[in-house]
Amino acid sequence: MLEFRNVTKKQGSFCLNNISFQLEEGYLLGILGKNGAGKSTLLNCMLERKKKYQGEIFYQGKNIREEHQWFLGQCAYIADDNQFFRMKTGAENVDLLGGFYEEMDMDKFVQYMRDMDLSWRKNVGAMSRGEFIRFQLAFGRAHNAKIYLLDEATAGMDPVFRRDFYNILREILAQEAMVIMTTHIQSDINRNMDYICRLEQGKISFYGENFGGEEDGEFQGKD
Amino acid sequence: MVSSRERIKAFDKKLLKSGEYSVILSRLPAYIFELLLIVIATSGDKLSEMDVFIVMYAWGLTFYIAPYLNIWENRKNVSIYEVLKSLPVNQWDIFKVRVEYIAKLLLSRFLIMLGLQIPGFMMTGKILKENMINSLAAIGWAALVLTIYALPGISNYRSNKQIKWKAKQGGIMWKKM
């Protein structure tokens, strides 16, 4: 279980204020909000090394402030600006970076890439945005990540990509992992999220289960 | 269980091996400075009279350590610290491993310099002790310059600054790293 306990983070004039929630394995949490609401800041609280936030974040009962390296080993961060060796192939990246993970498995990686119709021989820099996002998913799955942090992964993607993408996420969730993703796409939220966390000016304005709703309307949530 | 530092060393080994040709090219200035230093050390001249050269030698060695800190990709200098930032590895461990490389490199260069000065001393009759102290001073300078250069913050700053500069010069689209 992941637990945010009164997490506050100041970043210039912006302040992520008193964030508290819990998420169990097997669920997909969607973080919603306008630009500048604090969605990416919330994800970065878990990833940043300097841990310049107040409050505590616990994963599996361990405070990630104290066990940060172990925590990063459980995470798969998936975003457009994530750094990989772009002049090397997907497999070369796994070979180079996989050594930092306890459970990295090249065979699994190749299999996941094949399942998604991607070539593991292709340079990461030559991948399209959708391919790069899926490559990162395969990378995370190959080291058996338990927490997937996705920052606007589906933004600008067509409905076919998004359908396949959510099918992969469902497979991941079935393996006792959890997914936290930021998104703007209302139909994705209604159809795919198990829980919703809506942020407004750094504060949680709603957190609860998602019961779906109108395609273009507001999501139907229940506290 | 494999320690974090051993994992970093294994990563470095693979990284350098994967870009063998470009690593040799990027280290070329370091090799040239080393060659010059060997010539000077063999001639038996006092290194203390060559302050500027010693500082340049230290700067030249930064090219030797550079492949461990940055990688040249798509006309961009990408910091290795940036690539590893969301991976389960401690950045201070990366820095410590780099310092270990620097210490090994400088120790070996000191021994080479010392070995080369003995025949130089025998030929010219100049004082070996003084040259030994000067060699140590050179190594000390180089250690200081290289250690500062290998710091995570400095390396990242340098890398990002270069990307921004290149974006201005060549109109390369700058992307947040």
Contact B88/A49, CB-based, under 8 Å?
no
Split at pLDDT 50, 70, 90, the class of B8 is very high
Lowest mean pLDDT among A96-105, A164-173, B47-56: B47-56
Amino acid making up residue B143: A
- Enumerate the residues of chain B whose CB falls inside 8 A of the CB of residue A85: 71, 73, 78, 83
- Classify domain A26-41+76-212 at the CATH superfamily level: P-loop containing nucleotide triphosphate hydrolases (3.40.50.300)
Contact A77/B86, CB-based, under 8 Å?
yes
Q: How far is CA A112 from CA A117, A148, A172, in A?
A: 9, 16, 11
Contact A178, A147 (CB under 8 A): yes
Q: What is the mean pLDDT of residues A55-63?
A: 91
In terms of Cβ atoms closer than 10 Å to its own Cβ (0-12, 13-18, 19+), residue A103 is: exposed
- Enumerate the residues of chain A whose CB falls inside 8 A of the CB of residue B82: 83
Extents of the domains making up chain B: 4-170
Determine the Cα–Cα distance for residues B126 and B118; give it in Å rounded to an integer.
10
- Enumerate the residues of chain B whose CB falls inside 8 A of the CB of residue A86: 73-74, 78
Distance from CA of A111 to the nearest CA of B (A): 22
ipTM of the complex: 0.79
Extents of the domains making up chain A: 26-41+76-212
B144 contacts: CB under 8 Å, gap ≥ 6: B58
| pLDDT for A119 beyond 90 | no
| Per-residue pLDDT at B32 | 84
